């Protein structure tokens, strides 16, 4: 039973345009959501997070939107750059569970075309 779903395995975007990566979740207990970026043969690096009490968090070119009623979040990258080409993982956590265990989606591979 997949609690965090990234239904698009891949996405291609022109340089300078907006990239929108989507993520859906099923567990209403999740209270924090995070995005990680991963290059091949490297470990994921933290990108941005959002608390369930917010609907938007922004950090430079990266903005995450959360729609709790739809159990949906999205990562917007504006403008997209070739260096953004990577696999993006959505992750969620229920911080009250005590284990601080992140649940990851399967990832979306973003390709930014120069």
Partner 1 sequence: DGGITQSPKYLFRKEGQNVTLSCEQNLNHDAMYWYRQDPGQGLRLIYYSQIVNDFQKGDIAEGYSVSREKKESFPLTVTSAQKNPTAFYLCASSMGLGFSPDYGYTFGSGTRLTVV
Per CB under 8 A, residues contacting partner 1 are 6, 9, 32, 34, 36, 41-46, 49, 51, 89, 91, 93, 95, 99-102, 104-107
With beta carbons less than 8 A apart as the criterion, state whether 34 and 20 touch.
no
Q: Which is nearer to partner 1, 67 or 95 (CB)?
A: 95
The least distance separating partner 1 from the CB of residue 36, rounded to whole angstroms, comes to 7
Closer to partner 1 by CB, 52 or 79: give it: 52
* DSSP H or E segment with residue 3: none
Residue number, 100 or 114, with CB nearest to partner 1: 100
Cα separation, 2 vs 37, whole angstroms: 20
């Amino acid at each position: 039973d997949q609690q965090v779903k990234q239904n698009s395995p891949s996405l291609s975007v022109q340089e300078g345009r907006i990239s929108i990566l989507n993520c859906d979740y099923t567990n209403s207990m999740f209270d924090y959501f995070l995005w990680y970026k991963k290059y091949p043969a490297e470990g994921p690096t933290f990108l941005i997070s959002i608390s369930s009490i917010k609907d938007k968090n922004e950090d430079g070119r990266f903005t995450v939107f959360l729609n709790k009623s739809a159990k949906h979040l999205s990562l917007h990258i504006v403008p997209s750059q070739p260096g953004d080409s990577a696999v993006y993982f959505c992750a969620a956590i229920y911080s009250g569970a005590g284990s601080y265990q992140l649940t990851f989606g399967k990832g979306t591979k973003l390709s930014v075309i120069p």
